[in-house]
Amino acid sequence: MEEYVYLGQTVSVNGGIGRELKARRQKAWRKFWSLKGVFKSKMSVKMKIKILESCVIPVLCYGAETWALTLSQVTSLQRTRRAMERSILGVKRRERMSNKE
């Protein structure tokens, strides 16, 4: 057995966390879409971002204290968060809006 789940995290004998990060992203998206009614409502954007940060981002980052991430893995997590923020704002990637906007 090279991998097992312990306290909700996938632990690998070889120390790789690729599968764990993939699972975290999937679980975060499931939580995000379970709150679709909130994120697509007429509530203020500021309140939606607070809900994202308190309900979804902790799912994405659960166990992050134990991760030794590479730059590409950090970028992947940031990309997931930005995609969720774009969805809340109703901005499509094709619109080519910068992250700062």
- At residue 73, the pLDDT reads 87
Amino acid identity of residue 34, one-letter, is S
**For residue 89, pLDDT beyond 70:** yes
pLDDT band at 98 (very low <50, low <70, confident <90, very high): low
- Residue 56 has, within 13 A of its CA and on its CB side, a CA count of 27
Per cent of the chain over pLDDT 70 is 78
pLDDT band at 92 (very low <50, low <70, confident <90, very high): confident
**For residue 78, pLDDT beyond 80:** yes
- At residue 12, the pLDDT reads 66
Alpha carbons 47 and 53: distance in angstroms, whole number: 10
**For residue 48, pLDDT beyond 80:** yes
Alpha carbons 37 and 100: distance in angstroms, whole number: 26
